[in-house]
Amino acid sequence: MTARSAAKAGKTTGRRVFFFGAGKADGNAGMKELLGGKGANLAEMTRLGLPVPPGFTISTAVCAEYEKAGGKVPRSLEPDVAKALRRVERIMDARFGDPKRPLLLSVRSGARASMPGMMDTVLNLGLNDRSAEGLAALADARFAYDSYRRFVQMYSDVVLEVPRDHFEHRLEALKASRGVHLDTDLGAEDWRELVREYLRIVEEETGKPFPQDSHAQLWGAIGAVFRSWGNPRAITYRKLNGIPADWGTAVNVQAMVFGNMGDDCATGVAFTRDPSTGANFFYGEYLKNAQGEDVVAGIRTPQPINKESRSPDHAHLPTLEEEMPKAYKELAAIRKKLESHYRDMQDVEFTIQNGKLWMLQTRNGKRTVRAAVTIAVEMAREKLIPREVAVTRVDPGSLDQLLHPTLDPDAEKKVIAKGLPASPGAACGKVVFSADEAEAKAKAGEKVVLVRIETSPEDIHGMYAAEGILTARGGMTSHAAVVARGMGKCCVVGCGTLQISYDRGEIRVNDTLVRAGDVITIDGSSGEVILGEVATVTPELGGEFGELMRWADVSRQLEVRTNADTPHDAKVARDFGAQGIGLCRTEHMFFEEERILAVREMILSTDEVQRGRALEKLLPMQRGDFVGIFQAMDGLPVTIRLLDPPLHEFLPHEDAGIREVAEVLGDDVAAVRARIEERREFNPMLGHRGCRLGITFPDIYRMQVRAITEAACQVAQSGVRVRPEIMIPLIAHVKELARLRQLAEEEVARVLDEHRGVKLKIPIGTMIEVPRAALVAADIARYADFFSFGTNDLTQMTYALSRDDAGKFLPEYLEAGILEDDPFVSIDREGIGQLVMMGVERGRSTRRDLKVGICGEHGGDPKSVQFCAQAGLDYVSCSPFRVPVARLAAAQAAITARGGASPRAKRKPKPRPKAKPAAAGRGSAKRTTRGARR
């Protein structure tokens, strides 16, 4: 449901304002599309009987109306808001705008997807010169004017758009003049003076006095929150996390409760499990005598809520459990109730006012991927969720983060500081001090670590671009920590020994000086900050990860293979669960130093005798390559693509290389240079490459087929089961495949005649990477045992886009919304996807048992894997480190297709009827034409 469809839903129900309070609520947790995540969960917590301050939610439907009206809140909303506000007043026994007993409000955003810190909030709304005095009489003057100065600063920043720096500089100057470091060290008169300064700043910057009418304040704040849906940081966050721009945000208006009224007051953030590791203990931080933004801003060092939350560096700090045991006990009970109810790890915000606990928010907590895996598996073990739900709880794309390097424990390192380990992994890069610089340097190909005193939502683009984030302030629930965990970025926060100077572009740590551009390494698992670059190691996977992947394999139907050209890559992929090789690129083997000369000799030879000598040199090299790969993939299929790239890629361009080839050929340098020029093409990717090489230089393909078959025979004779498959690239016409299939079958038959004791079945198939091939797939399938869609080239040819050049303008297409995704990253369902589906349908109309896969880089993209499952493909093939991603994505696609129900045993695909008889010309390789079937 978009904001516009939410608007229609709102009209259907006749309600745009949803009240919650005193155990009753108009909404519930299932209404996130209309109420946003925050509003829906506030309603749900109220229904659960939890202590939630009363309030009301203005639905996402109104956000659509706001945008349609050109940024104006509809006046027709006023009666509904007034009615809900009166109910809040009755529950709180206070009046909004009353100077003697004022009701103060918070106004917060709330999209259906969590966007921490990306949109705007206003606290303490309703204060003015008169009500501040009334609040001082009711409570305490210091509290009243502390609250008033916070409100003026926040409202001016969010609503009036007066830069926050104007206020922060004045606050720092006041603390310096008083000789204090913390806000809590200032008294009532200090805050009164600061409020007067703040009001003067507002009038100077806007030309108008700060608004004193509480109702005008409220409507200004509501409009500002709707407006913040379109601010730059929210837009960036949505793009990074795939959140549609037309969802819109709700606005939550809620009675204020105060954590800054004295030492029996506090505010905090907690997670029902550790968001960094997934460990099952109550984890959180709080501050006494503070408001919520103090915790996430990192201005003061927060305290742990219990001993389990203590870091070694903060072991001396008292806990909430020790300081306010009654409130902590109630909070711990709520933790269990919320997790049991939502059946997921929760991120909660709370305030304690005069010893009474209030719950301000709950939402599914952001977590590292390692924590996501641990939490999903442990919740399934605890019977909180079924296994198939556990499989859907981990984002497949995030699994890359599990493979992030960690520091080599044996490497030398110079530790210069230590902070809090907010998000695991290791990051190394040049020091930068601004988000803009981080983004610019990352675009230029440099690795950087973003160093800030503290981060704010405006830094989101730099945090995304950086390898890691390091801050001097903040705790484990600070902005930097929460956002970094959500991104999977290594992060160290609260490193208080760092003296950071933006003006000088340097960090001082005791006697060490680190300047902008110097290289540092941060360890997000230990909190260490290290001078220089430190060696890393790839972590081992197992435990909960292995268990989750086993559950995924039970659910999925799509096979997952890998793209691998060496025995090492093959072994890595097999360790990650690959079920075979879907693409082995033979040309990658030709570029090795000891064989490139023979390849050039083959290409530049003037007759078959010269070419034959070069091929004789290459044959044992290729055979050795395949022997190693077959051994590594013992018993699993290995699809080997015959030579594909244009020949000019192998040719020398420097004089030394040309002279070397001329000497081997016994030819004149000028003549060799001329032949190189003859091989040059204006558009080589559409030129003399792929199967066209096999047609014009059949000896090349014969050599490769012989190398494959001889290697298979050699490995088979050693007792290893081999399953080679030969793939012919760039087929556009059925006669190309008919001719080259016959060539391959004849060569296979000759080799098998030489190895009488070996029985092999070698399927022969083709890549579908030319649009014409998809159109005539019914004919091509007569000569193919399998299809493998090469979606890299298929995308390139169908879009008329060069993969190598598209990066110069594709970002603008994505920015402008012309394309939703980069078509080389996620398969274009409307265009390329239609060609794939057409190829599958037409190919299987000829051969109903036709095996079909995909071997472009799309094979490791979760969105594309989901499409492949829906299109009826048998397998996807991707790079080794993307194999776990594809396995999980395939499982989630299968679970979604079944409507969430998962069998306890892997479903077997329905057997397809036997294939039609082979086309003419295939009988000569009877022993080779039928490939192994799943």
Radius of gyration of the chain (CA): 33
* Burial (CB count <10 Å: 0-12, 13-18, 19+), residue 567: middle
314, 461, 479, 858: the active-site residue: 479
Q: How far lies 800's CA from each of 775, 794, 827, 907, 918, in Å?
A: 17, 10, 15, 40, 35
Query: Taking a C-beta distance cutoff of 8 angstroms, is the pair 267, 294 a contact?
Result: yes
First-to-final CA distance of the chain? 41
The runs of H, that is alpha helices, within 515-606 are 544-555, 567-575, 587-590, 593-604
Q: Single out the residue of 347, 346, 345, 344 nearest to residue 389, CA to CA.
A: 344
Residue 761 in 3-state DSSP?
coil
* 479 is a catalytic site residue: yes
Q: Single out the residue of 282, 288, 291 nearest to residue 348, CA to CA.
A: 282
691, 713, 855, 878: the active-site residue: 855
Copy the structure tokens of residue 198.
């703040």
Strands 55-58 and 250-255 come out as: antiparallel
* Beta carbons within 8 Å of 449's beta carbon, 6+ residues apart: 427, 428, 429, 430, 431, 432, 466, 467, 468, 469, 470, 520, 522
Q: From the centroid of its chain, how far is CA 229?
A: 21
Q: Single out the residue of 504, 500, 628 nearest to residue 566, CA to CA.
A: 628
* Identity at 108, one-letter amino acid code: R
DSSP 277: T
Query: Taking a C-beta distance cutoff of 8 angstroms, is the pair 518, 323 a contact?
Result: no
Query: Taking a C-beta distance cutoff of 8 angstroms, is the pair 96, 463 a contact?
Result: no
Q: How many CB atoms lie within 10 A of CB 610?
A: 17
Cα separation, 124 vs 168, whole angstroms: 18
Backbone angles phi, psi at 861, to 5 degrees: -95, 125
Q: Single out the residue of 932, 933, 929 nearest to residue 917, CA to CA.
A: 929
Query: Taking a C-beta distance cutoff of 8 angstroms, is the pair 470, 419 a contact?
Result: yes
Backbone angles phi, psi at 807, to 5 degrees: -60, -15
The runs of H, that is alpha helices, within 314-368 are 320-323, 325-342
Interaxial angle between packed helices 141-158 and 164-178, expressed in degrees from 0 to 180 and rounded to the nearest 10 = 150
* Identity at 145, one-letter amino acid code: Y
* Identity at 304, one-letter amino acid code: P
Q: How far lies 160's CA from each of 213, 544, 648, in Å?
A: 15, 50, 63
Query: Taking a C-beta distance cutoff of 8 angstroms, is the pair 97, 131 a contact?
Result: yes
Element (H, E) at 879: none
Q: How many CB atoms lie within 10 A of CB 802?
A: 12
Return the half-sphere exposure (C-beta side, CA atoms, 13 A cut-off) of residue 639.
34
Q: Single out the residue of 842, 723, 866 nearest to residue 787, CA to CA.
A: 842
Measured at the CA of 725, the angle between CA 720 and CA 726, to 5 degrees, comes to: 135
Cα separation, 641 vs 662, whole angstroms: 30
* Burial (CB count <10 Å: 0-12, 13-18, 19+), residue 210: buried
Q: How far lies 561's CA from each of 127, 375, 875, in Å?
A: 63, 28, 7
Q: How many CB atoms lie within 10 A of CB 607?
A: 7
Query: Taking a C-beta distance cutoff of 8 angstroms, is the pair 662, 668 a contact?
Result: yes
Active site residues: 479, 855
